[in-house]
Amino acid sequence: MNEWLGTIKSFAETVQNMGMKPGIRLLGHGTGRDPEICSILGISEYHSIERLRFADDEPVAIERTHYPIEIGLKLAAHDLNEVTIYSVLEFEGIILHSAEQKIIAAMPNNHDAKLLRLSPKTGVLVAKKVSSDPSGRIIEYYFSIFRPDKYALCVRMYRKSG
């Protein structure tokens, strides 16, 4: 599975664009107060959603997304096993305008390795993304772990002439 970076797309859109069937299993959701996440979102409490993502029934990623409480409650009102979060956000009038994403290699913990059907000694790709609305307000902090044997992130580059 290849994802071209440069646009904000849902996991389901990426999987469908590759001709595969996306799938979701909600692992949990609720409020949190982790100081690092609060600092990123600029708030004192947030709503988290954790989902296991599938491509053609194979686990490919674990998504952990964090939102301001009022946005999280709107998302929680929907069946998070069935909907794409970005489509719900758009339905609610919340626009993801821009994002900054960092991708690193890491080792999974035992729990994450088991969910992804990997050995804990197998490295994973970790994507951390902060998304904002058109006014610059932070809407989402996204932390996802991807199987490196099932997922590739691609970048199209251009050289500027002097």
* pLDDT tens sequence for the chain (162 residues): 445 456 666 677 777 777 788 899 999 999 999 999 999 999 999 999 999 999 899 999 999 999 999 999 999 999 999 898 998 999 999 998 999 989 899 999 999 999 999 999 999 999 999 999 999 999 999 999 999 887 766 676 778 876
126: part of which helix (H) or strand (E)?
Answer: strand 124-132
Structure tokens at 156: 């199209």
> What does residue 154 show for φ and ψ, rounded to 5 degrees?
-115, 145
- Reported for 67-74, long-range contacts at CB under 8 A and 24+ positions apart, including other chains, are 67/41, 67/139, 67/140, 67/141, 68/41, 68/43, 68/138, 68/139, 69/31, 69/43, 69/45, 71/47, 71/139, 71/140, 72/29, 72/31, 72/46, 72/47, 72/48, 73/47
pTM: 0.86
Superfamily of domain 2-152, CATH level 4: Chorismate lyase-like (3.40.1410.10)
Identify the CA nearest to 54 among candidates 133, 147, 139, 138. Answer: 147
- For residue 2, the cross-strand partners are 152
CA separation for the pair 102, 126 (Å, rounded): 8
The reported pLDDT for the residue numbered 160 is 80
Q: Which two tokens stand for residue 59?
A: 């686990």
The full 3-state SS of 70-86, as one line of letters, equals HHHHHHHCCCCCCCCHH
For residue 150, the model assigns a pLDDT of 77
Smallest CA-to-CA distance from 125 within 65, 59, 61 is with 61
